Amino acid sequence: MQRPLWCCTAHVDETEDRCVSAAFQPLPHVVLSTKYEPPWLQISKNMKDILEKHGCSVYNPNTDNEAANKHEADAQWLRTFNRHLEVVKQTKGFVLQIQQGAKRERTDMQLAEEKQAGWLQVPRIGIYAFAEEFPLEGTVVETSLIRAIDMAKEQWDHGIAKGVMMCSEIWETVQFTVDAVGSVTGPAKVKFPDGATMEGYFVRGLKHGSCRYQSRDGRVELGLYSMDVPIVEIHRSTSGNFFKFKDGEELEQISPKEAEEIQQGYVLPPW
């Protein structure tokens, strides 16, 4: 039997309805969990291209199910999806859940797919996507997809996470606009994959104006920026000490009173 293009290094025994290992090391297989309607159809195609570029085989239900099953696509959809989940486990890949828009919406189908993948104990990685079509290669989306591959490897080495882990930044407010390459302009709050948060004003994805950053361990940075270049920046460490920074380098430790004067003088956000 000829090996299907969707798998590249493993094939499915249709009689036994199970995955059979190839004689060589398989590529990590990724199953996309995504909405079908525009723009998500094209976004899913673009993400598949990037993942394949970085060494994965990818199953996109939006396109590959019909290509494989022709007129039986609808009837075979769930069975085909489950077979690809088995390939994910066999090759130590992951399920990529494409979450839609500023509210990170997921369809009922995606929630069901998330549960199926959880039962099989394979990594479920989430990526936030704007509800607009724009080129993804060379943008923060490609960076996030590379991070997803690394996160899946980490889970296979150290234990599969119980829920969906985000590989992308999450823009949590809706007052901003998005340009043709996916960069944000306007007031926004962003949550990073490591749990850190940043809130402020952005121009084409760059900090512009006052901004507050907090790391997962509780370190806080307040600053005033011009297109990502700090005009003034002060930090409060996890131990409660204050420091004044310039160009990302620590200048000196300052007193709480000095920190308050800088904060008020430059109208920085509250700690």
User: What tens digit of pLDDT does each residue of 240-265 get?
Assistant: 999 998 666 777 899 999 999 999 99
- Provide the percentage of residues in the chain whose pLDDT is more than 70: 88
Q: Which of 67, 100, 79, 84 is nearest to 31 (CA)?
A: 84
User: What does the pLDDT look like over 31-69, one tens digit per residue?
Assistant: 999 998 888 999 999 999 999 999 999 999 999 988 777
For the segment 98-105, the average pLDDT, to the nearest whole number, is 85
Residues 6+ apart with CB under 8 A from 88: 29, 30, 31, 94, 95, 117, 120, 122
Q: State how far the Cα of 22 lies from the Cα of 245, in Å rounded to an integer.
A: 55
Q: What is the pLDDT of residue 91?
A: 97
CB-based contact 8:18 (threshold 8 Å): no
CA distances from 103 to 100, 130, 163, 179 (A): 7, 10, 18, 18
pTM: 0.79
CA 8 to chain centre: 25
What are the chain's domains?
10-168 (3.40.50), 179-265 (2.20.110.10)
Q: Do residues 43 and 52 make contact, with C-beta atoms less than 8 angstroms apart?
A: no
Q: Percentage of residues in the chain with pLDDT exceeding 90? A: 65
